[in-house]
Amino acid sequence: MIVDFHTHSSASDGALSPEQLLKRAVDAGVQHFAITDHDTLAGYLQVRESPSAKRVGLVPGVELSCRWAKSTIHIVGLNFDPDAPEMTSMVEQLSRVRRKRAKTIADRLAGVGIPNALEGAMAVAASSQIGRPHFAQWMVDAGVVTGMNQAFDRYLGNGKVGDVKAYWPSLADVTEVIVASGGEAIMAHPLKYRLTGVKLRAMLTDFVASGGTGLEVLNGRQIDADRRRLVTLASSLGLKVSVGSDFHKDLTYGAPVGVAVDSLNLDNSVWQTWLASK
């Protein structure tokens, strides 16, 4: 079986339109699918009634930004009620936060001699949910840096001048909203936060206490040992497992849409629960 519960469309920082992304999933033979844009449901809502949505078993999805201690954390929400008022008001709040954050990022860039970034990034983002990749793209287009990686390495990445995380809601708040909306709250890419083993466990304990139900044990290109470690961690915490490509665009070193799960030995997965309830 092929599934994918972590993908991005042009409604946030992905390159493909929601409909193009669905087509990729159809072509890859995906049977259970989610579009998990950063802090917006716009892409999902645009295509939820389309024939391709049915073919790929599209469930509502989102990737919500939040904070825990000093880290920015991402929680994937799956199979919630997309019209739940808690969810609607959370993505509205996060959209406001992103606009406010964009202004702060631009002010900070101006402070290091890079003016006009807000106008630039907003033009790149157009109607998409604005984020650091739009700043990075503008910096590339404006010749400030030679590529996206350099933009993150020098200005936008973790701990750099344009890394603004003060405004995100708490991990508990976003987890509770997903659960209150009837969905599964999945801790996205647990190994990308660069937490120590002790801190990771503390973070996941708080996540479980807030109602978190799943752990993403496979995210994009990843070595088998990491998946095994995360499967063990999930089972020790009583969490279900989820997987996703985290597809944004075609990259030679990136993962394509669709994850073949039959050979991965994953019991207690989020999609098995849905199959059983059908």
Note the residues at the interface with Mn ion (CB under 5 A).
Answer: 13, 63, 74, 188, 246
Binding partner of residue 149 among Mn ion, ligand AMP, none, CB under 5 to 8 Å per kind? ligand AMP
Q: Does 6 sit near ligand AMP (CB under 6 A)?
A: no
Q: In this complex, which beta carbon is closest to ligand AMP, that of residue 57 or of residue 157?
A: 157
Q: Which of 13, 37, 176, 216 binds ligand AMP (CB under 6 A)?
A: 13
Q: Does 247 sit near ligand AMP (CB under 6 A)?
A: no
**Residue found under tokens 């944004």:** 248
Q: In this complex, which beta carbon is closest to Mn ion, that of residue 82 or of residue 220?
A: 220
Q: In this complex, which beta carbon is closest to ligand AMP, that of residue 7 or of residue 213?
A: 7
Q: Which of 68, 152, 247, 271 binds ligand AMP (CB under 6 A)?
A: 152
Cβ 174 to ligand AMP, closest distance in Å? 13
The residue whose Cβ lies closest to ligand AMP is 131
Q: Does 216 sit near ligand AMP (CB under 6 A)?
A: no
Q: How many residues bind ligand AMP (CB under 6 A)?
A: 11
Q: Which of 24, 132, 227, 240 binds ligand AMP (CB under 6 A)?
A: 132
Q: Does 148 sit near ligand AMP (CB under 6 A)?
A: yes
Q: Does 133 sit near ligand AMP (CB under 6 A)?
A: yes
Binding partner of residue 176 among Mn ion, ligand AMP, none, CB under 5 to 8 Å per kind? none
Q: What is the 3-state secondary structure (H, E, C) of the chain?
A: CEEECCECCCCCCCCCCHHHHHHHHHHCCCCEEECCCECCCHHHHHHCCCHHHHHCCEECEEEEEEEECCEEEEEEEECCCCCCHHHHHHHHHHHHHHHHHHHHHHHHHHHCCCCCHHHHHHHHHCCCCCCHHHHHHHHHHCCCCCCHHHHHHHHHCCCCCCCCCCCCCEHHHHHHHHHHCCCEEEECCHHHHCCCHHHHHHHHHHHHHCCCCEEEEEECCCCHHHHHHHHHHHHHHCCEEEEECCECCCCCCCCCCCEECHHHCCCCEHHHHHHHHC
Q: Does 131 sit near ligand AMP (CB under 6 A)?
A: yes
Q: In this complex, which beta carbon is closest to ligand AMP, that of residue 26 or of residue 148?
A: 148
Cβ 130 to ligand AMP, closest distance in Å? 7
